[in-house]
Amino acid sequence: MSFRFDGRTNFIAGRWGDDPSGTQHDAVSPIDGATIGTMAWSTRAAAREAIAAARQAQPGWGRTSLWDRARVLRGIADAIRGRQAALADLLTREQGKPIAEARFEVGKAADGFDLAADLVKYLEGRTIPAEDTSKRVLTFYRPRGVYGVVTPWNFPVNIPVEYLAPGLAAGNAIVWTPAPTTALIGAALVQVMADADLPPGVLNFVTGPGPEVGDEIVSHDGVDGVGFTGSAATGKRIAQRAAGKAQLLELGGNGPVIILDDADLDKAATATAAGCFVNAGQVCSSSERVLVHEAVYDAFAERMTAAAGTIVIGDPRDEATTMGPLNNPEVAAKVNAHVDDAVGRGARAVAGGSRLAALGTDLYFAPTVLTGVGRDALINTEETFGPVAPLIRVASDDEAIAAARDNRYGLVSSVFTRDIDRAFRFIEAVPTGIVNVNDTSNYWELHIPFGGVSGKDSGVGRIGGRYSLEAMSDLKTATFTVDV
């Protein structure tokens, strides 16, 4: 099956429609600039309608047994797998990632619904001892109510599921708005979910500009909790607008990946290249800055340059392609600016370094390796979100730790070493929510807690498995007085 949209991309109270007070907006493929559909370009009125529908539907969904909710989620997982090919095709055309990566992402989205269906049945509370001998105390989980979800364009199928699956499993109703550049694949996912007998109003979907639709959803008094994945700057605005609500925010990252002088360089280069070039580097856990011990710097740079040369960049619908275009002009401009800034400060592009305009649009950026990158370069201090490996020289473990800590992000890092003692030193010293040892910074599984650390700009809370379920639920305490 395929998906076709005529501008009726809002899904509210179980019905498809547009916004009578809004307009329509073309969806344009980054592959070749072709228009692949139209979406509703909605106003705040549509967002308010969706919130009202969610508030009406949530009490009934919240009273539904965990087993029945789990059965619905399993039905959604099966429906996604049944339409995996069509979903992956649309995902590639709208987002730009290679078709193999698109199939993988859709498969993981189905797994996410199965995981939530499994885990919600074991979301147990506790009995708690009390000092007063006449008291019995127990805790249990309840839905928060209506959850507003705002998601990005880099993984527009799987990232939404990281909120939708646990949020629905926990008994919440959802109002979701996607990034406009990948709204059609979001609508296709909603269509699959709706066909799997999700009760009307439990899931609502509104397309339109973030400053209007997204802002209404996160700030509205009818929304009890907010889930967001995206940039640190947008996350800060959402946190302010959603003040007083439960918040689960997964924001930006900037590594680092640390290559010590005893690392297996072949393994480190293979893993780091994957972290730099998968999804054209448009991953919050990408290997966006690479700190390399000076004793192995040149040898590692040679291996990274060779790895960049193996990337097949082109039309992502071709099975042979391993990297497609960047998703949108804004991210392409940022990648350009960061590379130009680094080179202007003395770095050298030993691979790539520019766009490849002859491939269909100006969004194709060559897999790039930069040597001689200074710690003052934007590519070291900011999130680039592109297929660039900036190699920064360090002289010691202490200098590597200092460079790792000298950054406003704190999401994911990697360290490559054969020494377990050194590995644990970095695990404890590097301020990131995850430290992967001898593997790509992109390594993660759906049930593992994922998120930033306090004092950094990488978010609040943890997504992943049970941690998402707990974050999207209220923990309620009940006390009893007994005559014993």
Residues carrying an active site annotation: 250, 284
Angle between helices 66-82 and 183-194 (to 10 degrees): 120
Task: Show Cβ contacts of residue 363 under 8 Å, excluding neighbours closer than 6 positions.
Answer: 30, 96, 325, 326, 327, 328, 329, 332, 355
Cα–Cα nearest to 433, from 414, 453, 416: 453
Distance of alpha carbon 455 from alpha carbon 338, whole angstroms: 25
Query: Distance between CA atoms of 190 and 37, rounded to whole angstroms?
Result: 16
Is residue 192 within 8 A of residue 79, CB to CB? The reply is: yes
Which is it for strands 368-371 and 348-351: parallel, antiparallel or unpaired? Answer: antiparallel
Whether the CB-CB separation of 462 and 449 falls below 8 Å is answered with yes
By the 10 Å C-beta count (0-12 exposed, 13-18 middle, 19+ buried), 455 is classed as exposed
Both tokens of 161, joined, read: 């599921």
The tokens describing 479, both together, are: 């006390």
CA distance 193 to 416: 41
Cα–Cα dist 292/395, whole Å? 8
- Is residue 90 a contact partner of residue 317, using CB atoms and an 8 Å limit? no
Which tokens go with 407? 């950054």
Q: Which segments within 104-224 are labelled E, that is strand?
A: 127-128, 135-143, 146-151, 173-178, 203-205
How far apart are the C-alpha atoms of 247 and 172, rounded to whole Å?
14
Q: Which residues contact 392 (CB under 8 A, 6 or more apart)?
A: 289, 290, 291, 292, 373, 374, 375, 380, 403
**Nearest by Cα to 51 from 220, 181, 268, 214:** 220
Which residues touch 55 (CB under 8 Å, ≥6 apart)?
145, 146, 173, 222
Distance CA 46, CA 19 (A): 6
